[in-house]
Structure 1
Amino acid sequence: MTTALLILHFCVTIALIGVVLIQRSEGGGLGIGSSQGMGAFMSGRGTANLLTRTTAVLAGVFMLLSLLLAMLYKGSVTGEGHDILAQPPAATTPAPVAPATTAPAPQPAAPAHP
């Protein structure tokens, strides 16, 4: 079931990206959504409304699938480092300290003979 949801999520994501790119923005965008390129299939306003509704529906489906997949994966991942909020912080142990030894005082160097 998870694999099917992931594939559906991927398809919705690709469709959402495509619909957003097709929309005509104030700067012109890709301009594919204009009625000039569509052979008078729909008016400019009708195309904009259709693309806006399609974007809203796809965004809603994307969010629902994301939440559903997150709930399905919650708790199913085991191992260290995956769910950092559920694990208590690791106890730290201090590094071992070497015992202090008394070293003999350094001897002054003997003067060199010429």
Structure 2
Amino acid sequence: MENVVLIIHLLLALALIGVVLLQRSEGGGLGMGGGGGAMTGRAAATALGKVTWLLAAAFFATSISLVIIAAGKSDSSSVLDRLAPASSAPAEDAGDTPSLPGGGSLLPPSPSTDGSLTPSAD
């Protein structure tokens, strides 16, 4: 069901893009020229304008239905609820420090008393 609605949604998006690009430009940016448009009191007079409104309404309907379908399939828990607290993780043995295959330590070097850096030997 979700795939069918998603395909319809994508087809509506492509059709909406095509219909908008086919419309005549009114001139001026952001609807500031030519008079009319979606912000006026008059209804859309052209067939392309009516098709645009119809496709936009269908696009919003499929968007909302996709959200409802996805919410129905999801768990009721949040992503944050799935994260385990750091304190519940099993503690490693303190004496078990990671080491490299050659025997070197993965820990950063610790400064010695003379100022030079020496690998820490715990």
Structure 1 equivalent of residue 20 of structure 2? 20
SS at match of 2:26: coil
Mapped pair 1:68 → 2:65: yes
Label 1:27 to 1:76 Cα distance change in 2 as closer, same or farther (>3 A). Answer: same
Q: TM-score, normalised by structure 2?
A: 0.49
In the alignment, the residues of structure 2 paired with residue 7 and residue 88 of structure 1 have an alpha-carbon distance, to the nearest angstrom, of 31
In the alignment, the residues of structure 1 paired with residue 11 and residue 79 of structure 2 have an alpha-carbon distance, to the nearest angstrom, of 35
Q: TM-score, normalised by structure 1?
A: 0.52
- Root-mean-square deviation (CA), in Å? 3.7
Number of positions where the alignment pairs a residue of Structure 1 with one of Structure 2 = 79
In the alignment, the residues of structure 1 paired with residue 80 and residue 72 of structure 2 have an alpha-carbon distance, to the nearest angstrom, of 15
In the alignment, the residues of structure 2 paired with residue 88 and residue 7 of structure 1 have an alpha-carbon distance, to the nearest angstrom, of 31
Select the structure of larger CA radius of gyration: 1
CA positional deviation for 1:71: 0.3
In the alignment, the residues of structure 1 paired with residue 15 and residue 68 of structure 2 have an alpha-carbon distance, to the nearest angstrom, of 23
Moved over 3 A (4+): 87-93
**Quick one: percent identity of the two aligned structures?**
38
Mapped pair 1:86 → 2:78: yes
Structure 2 equivalent of residue 3 of structure 1? 3
Which structure is richer in relative contact order (CA contacts within 8 A, separation 6 or more)? 1
Gaps of 5+ in 1: 29-47, 99-105, 108-114
SS at match of 1:74: helix
Gaps of 5+ in 2: 29-44, 88-93, 95-112, 115-122
Tell me the amino acid that sits aligned with residue 62 of structure 1. Answer: F
SS at match of 1:6: helix
In the alignment, the residues of structure 2 paired with residue 75 and residue 88 of structure 1 have an alpha-carbon distance, to the nearest angstrom, of 19
